[in-house]
A and B are shown apart, each in its own frame.
Chain A
Amino acid sequence: MKYVIPCLILITLIVAVIKKVSVYDSFIEGAKEAAKLIVSLLPFLTSVFVLIEVFEASGLNVYISKYLGYVFSFFGIPKELSELVIIRPLSGSGSLGVLENILLEYGPDSYVGKCASVVCGASDTVFYIVAVYLSASDDKRAPLAVPISLIASFIGTVAACFLCRFF
């Protein structure tokens, strides 16, 4: 797997040389576009990051995950995972941090450890994606995008915890 991306890049470069496409110009154009994109992204990124920061600093995440733990266990999600399930749609790096802690505490081959890995691998940062994908559009309407993504991810999480009993 580790050769896929390097080879993809190498092949792209070789084909570009054969077809006489200027690699240097493409790089400059790409970087220029990236700069523009990041500038338009910046406000949306900061909004999501401010949210994560105050959410964690207030201790609200611990509090909420404690109570939602009861709701989650009803769906078969172990309560050790509730913090992860809550932080997952908000922050990619945050949820990887929680995953690290769970793997350290319970071990990667335990039921909780496996569940946590599958939940992390099978879902994504919903709020971040919504904010980022719409950032460049003039028409920011994407009806029901947040609730549908969250509900579908939650069903995936329930399925993940169920499946991990058998793997």
Chain B
Amino acid sequence: MNFVFTLILCASVLCLIFISPDSVLSSLIEGTGNGLTFAVKLFAVYGVWLSVLKIWEKLNFDKFCARKSIGLLKKFFPGENDSCYADLSVNLSANFLGMGSAGTPAGINACKKMISPKNKTMLIVINSTSIQLIPTTIVAIRTAHSASSDIILPTLISTFLSTFIGIVMVKIFVKNKK
């Protein structure tokens, strides 16, 4: 992360000095401000979903989900504790149903409880290759542009392919060091 961040930042600032030196500082500040605006929006989303999660936790619904999927979870994320599996099952099922941002708080919690760095990589890879059944946002945008063709099937195939390749690469390339 440090490498990518520094590289892009240096290159961009260098470019800006030639094009418009005035906008270096202003765009840095603008970016930080955008981050804050986005954080406020996220608070709204997370506030709602963490409340729902809390209720599920009290109803033991998340543990029920975890019990149902524990075999599968243990295969992908070996050696974690039960409360981590509960968060994982919520995170992955929310992703699967296309409620991406709803699952993020559970994913962050799961990541926090994880012991193995390899499992963290696995969780991030699965999340960032976005397994989901219905790409709700994209379908909504296409409907607004009055699309007549359907993109759900190719989307499904390519997202499953990328997730699958990601999982295989984690299994092959990431060594499990404690």
Chain A residues near B (Cβ < 8 Å): 1, 4-5, 9, 12-13, 15-16, 19, 21, 23, 26-27, 29-31, 33-35, 37-38, 41-42, 45-55, 57-60, 63, 89, 96, 99-100, 103-104, 107-109, 113-114, 117-118, 120-127, 129-139, 141-146, 148-149, 151-153, 155-157, 159-160, 163-164, 167
Contact = CB atoms under 8 A, between A and B. Distances in A.
Given A19-B59, A42-B36, A45-B38, A167 B153 contact: yes
23 contacts: A1-B134, A27-B54, A30-B49, A37-B50, A38-B39, A38-B40, A45-B35, A46-B36, A48-B35, A50-B31, A50-B32, A53-B28, A57-B12, A117-B142, A120-B135, A144-B170, A144-B174, A145-B120, A149-B125, A153-B129, A160-B155, A163-B157, A164-B151
B149 A122 contact: no
Given A26-B54, A130-B1, A133-B107, A121 B138 contact: yes
The contact size tier of chain B is 35 or more
Contacts of A9: 52
Interface in B3-27: 4-5, 8-9, 11-13, 15-16, 19, 23-24, 27
Contacts, number: 299
B156 to A, nearest CB: 8
A142 B120 contact: yes
A114 B158 CA distance: 13
Nearest to B172: A148
A46 B32 contact: yes
Contacts of B35: 42, 45-50
B34 A49 contact: yes
A41 B27 CA distance: 21
Contacts of A27: 51, 54
Contact of B161 (A12, A63, A109, A155): A155
Given A31-B51, A143-B175, A159-B157, 10 more contacts: A13-B55, A19-B59, A51-B9, A53-B30, A129-B124, A130-B1, A131-B1, A137-B114, A149-B166, A156-B163
B81 interface: no
Interface of B: 1, 4-5, 8-9, 11-13, 15-16, 19, 23-24, 27-28, 30-32, 34-36, 38-40, 42-43, 46-56, 58-59, 61, 97, 99-100, 104-105, 107-109, 111-112, 114, 117-118, 120-121, 123-125, 127-130, 132, 134-139, 141-142, 145-151, 153-155, 157-159, 161-163, 165-166, 169-170, 173-175, 177
Contact of A59 (B19, B99, B137): B19
B166 A96 contact: no
A96 B140 CA distance: 12
A93 B114 CA distance: 30
Task: Find the residue from B112, B121, B162 having the highest chain A CB count within 10 A.
Answer: B162
A162 B158 CA distance: 10
A6 to B, nearest CB: 12
Given A37-B105, A123-B130, A129-B124, A159 B149 contact: no
